[in-house]
Amino acid sequence: MFSLDPATLIARIIVLLVAFTIHEFAHAWTATRFGMTRRA
């Protein structure tokens, strides 16, 4: 399944780090905008 060359693997790690960070930030940003001020 993961028969990847190193370049592809590194590219995907970089992409996933950026993507997950922005995704989770969007959740937090939305919650803040809806008035959540502390951890649920």
Q: What one-character DSSP code corresponds to residue 7?
A: H
Q: What is the CA 36 to chain-centroid distance, rounded? A: 21
Pairwise CA distance, residues 27 & 32, whole Å: 9
**Is the CB of 23 or the CB of 38 nearer to another protein?**
23
**Is the CB of 12 or the CB of 32 nearer to another protein?**
12
Task: Write down the least CB distance from residue 26 to another protein, Å.
Answer: 10
- Asked if residue 7 binds another protein (CB under 8 A), the reply is yes
Binding site for another protein (CB under 8 A): 1-8, 10-12, 14-16, 18-19, 23
